[in-house]
Structure 1
Amino acid sequence: MPIPGDLNNPCLGPLLTIEPPRFEVPAGACDTHAHVISADTATYPLVATRSYTPAPAPEDAYLHMLEGCGMSRGVLVQVSVYGTDNRYMLEVLKRHPERLRGVAVVDPAVTDSELAQLHAAGVRGIRINVLFGGGIGFDAMETLAARIAPLGWHMQFLLDARQLPEIMPRISGLPCPIVIDHMGHMPAALGVDDPGFQALLHLVKNRDTWVKLSGAYRLSTDFDQYADVTQFAHALVDAAPDRLVWGSDWPHVAITQMPNTGRLLNQLEQWVPDAATRNRILVDNPQRLYQFV
């Protein structure tokens, strides 16, 4: 099995089969976190500073996954292996302007013209990534937040929630909404009383902060049921159901055991038993956050 950190071998690719939904997926449902990766590395080269080499996950496979999960809408997040070269993601967005939105990765020196072009293509946020090579880190967040605030964009963070207590003052002062990936991307074994997770709850309760109910397999030691992550999901739903969205994290890069994307969606039935709340998380919340018409 390829090692995610071995740049000479691609990571595992996503499963071709998708477990069907066990609950009625509402019209307008949105998968708010997935990536597209071209098979054409000559046209879309991978950055040398990447932490892994992904398997291809092109547009047609991504759309097949959305259909299999019953998703009417999707949000593409710029994958770290492309650095600030957003071209492939933008090309996919432009082909599906009513259905898709994007989260880009940009250099602090990005021009106003470039930001306007990203907005026109459907981008509604930028990503700060301190966990994988190829990302833009904490040093740039104040500069970039000031640039994107007039556009109504948000700043998305891929971090370990145990980092939150230290950077809380900086995040709290940003002039734009923030989004935290994968329920804080910290080990589920640490539990909801961990200071990092408590900091996450504080943010989602007390400022314009959103959290993605996603990436359970990155937090869990319980493959492929992820029961140990349920405590995180329940705590977040209790704290702020209007600030939560769901994401598949397809194609599940840089891991050694490949989850079934449909099974990840079906976790919502246990995490959010109330259908009305679940529909808010799948439809209403992402519609507001990503500005779907």
Structure 2
Amino acid sequence: MSDRIVSWHDAPSKPLYTPLAGAVDAHCHVFGPMAQFPFSAKAKYLPGDAGPDALFALRDHLGFSRNVIVQASCHGTDNAATLDAIAKSDGKARGVAVVDPAISEAELATLHAGGIRGIRFNFLKRLVDDAPKDKFLDVASRLPEGWHVVIYFEADILEELRPFMDAIPVPLVIDHMGRPDVTQGPDGPDLKAFRALLDSRDDIWFKATCPDRLDAAGDPWDAFALAVAPLVADYRNRVIWGTDWPHPNMQDAIPDDGHLVDMIPRIAPTIELQTKLLVTNPMRLYWPEEL
């Protein structure tokens, strides 16, 4: 189909930075393949196929050991493509699902057996039609032991979401730091508000991810590095990192994944910080039984 979107680099560079042994790409996706895993009728975009073979080839090319595969909105609440990728990973991937809030405990147990360790709530209106907070709270109260909730939102609704997030009874992971305006700098209002959120609970984690989405000046994303490095240092025990491959909806500004990896030492300049960001913290969330 000619109208299917390609949002990923066809020949990403080899990063100058070499990830540490055991490093986890803790935020990535798979798309299809559509012939096997059709996209949701409610999908807001129709991507090209970006399946597990391509994801794992990128993992090896960039120098990572494991992946956390986050259910993409184009697949709705049918997690079959994500589960298939996890099953093909030889134990090197786990996942985050998107579920119907009415999901049963038996279905949640099946997801757990398939490698899922959290569920995602998306509040980006351009990607989802409805985000029922009351039903989200109900399913969050019924999750298997050790799971968490991932929340995706933009900075302008952070305060609106605070009561909802306060009520969630399991750990939270915030996608892309709630999409702050990084051009405001590390002490700008968006990151100050985000720090207040992190300070409100000691079980709120975040992903220091997506300079390509958050820094409109483009590669090498200097504003992102300046704004995010202090956040990583100050909340070093609650931060993880990922490529966001295959970069949903970034077809007009496709990032080079090798350059994304080269952001890591700019936001985590010491071995200690890199170890927490890439190894210790994602392992605590997704493979705690191996620690």
TM-score, with normalisation over the residues of structure 1? Answer: 0.91
Of 32, 44, 47 in structure 2, the residue corresponding to residue 54 of structure 1 is: 47
Of 94, 113, 116 in structure 2, the residue corresponding to residue 123 of structure 1 is: 116
Map 1:55-74; keep pairs closer than 5 Å: 55-74=48-67
**Residue of structure 2 in register with 1:272 after alignment:** 268
> Contact conserved, 2:32 with 2:39, CA < 8 A, in 1?
no
CA-to-aligned-CA distance 1:61-96 (integer Å, 9 cap, x gap):
000110011110100000000100000110111222
Q: How much does 1:251 deviate?
A: 0.4
**Residue 252 of structure 1 aligns to which amino acid in structure 2?**
H
Segments of structure 2 that go 5 or more residues without pairing to the other structure are none
Q: State the SS of the aligned residue for 2:263.
A: helix
1:161 aligns with 2:155: yes
Of 170, 177, 181 in structure 1, the residue corresponding to residue 171 of structure 2 is: 177
C-alpha separation between the residues in 1 aligned to 2:55 and 2:110? 23
> Contact conserved, 1:163 with 1:196, CA < 8 A, in 2?
no
Q: Percent identity?
A: 35
C-alpha separation between the residues in 2 aligned to 1:288 and 1:259? 29
Q: How much does 1:141 deviate?
A: 2.5
CA-to-aligned-CA distance 1:185-240 (integer Å, 9 cap, x gap):
23323444444432321222341111101111111112121111123312311320
CA-to-aligned-CA distance 1:105-145 (integer Å, 9 cap, x gap):
00110011100000011100000112143476252321121
Question: For structure 1, which segment, 84-93 or 182-191, has the greater mean C-alpha deviation from structure 2 after superposition?
Answer: 182-191
C-alpha separation between the residues in 2 aligned to 1:62 and 1:181? 20
**Residue of structure 2 in register with 1:240 after alignment:** 235
**Residue of structure 2 in register with 1:34 after alignment:** 28
**Residue of structure 2 in register with 1:3 after alignment:** none
C-alpha separation between the residues in 2 aligned to 1:195 and 1:141? 28
Map 1:167-246; keep pairs closer than 5 Å: 167-207=161-201, 208-246=203-241
1:81 aligns with 2:74: yes
> Contact conserved, 2:28 with 2:246, CA < 8 A, in 1?
yes
Q: State the SS of the aligned residue for 2:149.
A: strand
Question: For structure 1, which segment, 99-108 or 14-23, has the greater mean C-alpha deviation from structure 2 after superposition?
Answer: 14-23
C-alpha separation between the residues in 2 aligned to 1:58 and 1:99? 15
Question: For structure 1, which segment, 164-173 or 109-118, has the greater mean C-alpha deviation from structure 2 after superposition?
Answer: 164-173
Q: State the SS of the aligned residue for 2:237.
A: helix
C-alpha separation between the residues in 2 aligned to 1:279 and 1:24? 12
C-alpha separation between the residues in 1 aligned to 2:132 and 2:224? 27
Q: State the SS of the aligned residue for 1:269.
A: helix
**Residue of structure 1 in register with 2:253 after alignment:** 257
C-alpha separation between the residues in 2 aligned to 1:116 and 1:242? 28
> Contact conserved, 2:26 with 2:69, CA < 8 A, in 1?
yes
1:106 aligns with 2:99: yes
Question: For structure 1, which segment, 153-162 or 112-121, has the greater mean C-alpha deviation from structure 2 after superposition?
Answer: 153-162
Change (3 A) 1:217 1:138: farther
> Contact conserved, 1:189 with 1:220, CA < 8 A, in 2?
yes
C-alpha separation between the residues in 2 aligned to 1:285 and 1:135? 32
**Residue of structure 2 in register with 1:20 after alignment:** 14
C-alpha separation between the residues in 1 aligned to 2:101 and 2:76? 13
> Contact conserved, 1:214 with 1:248, CA < 8 A, in 2?
yes
Q: How much does 1:97 deviate?
A: 5.0
**Residue 88 of structure 1 aligns to which amino acid in structure 2?**
A
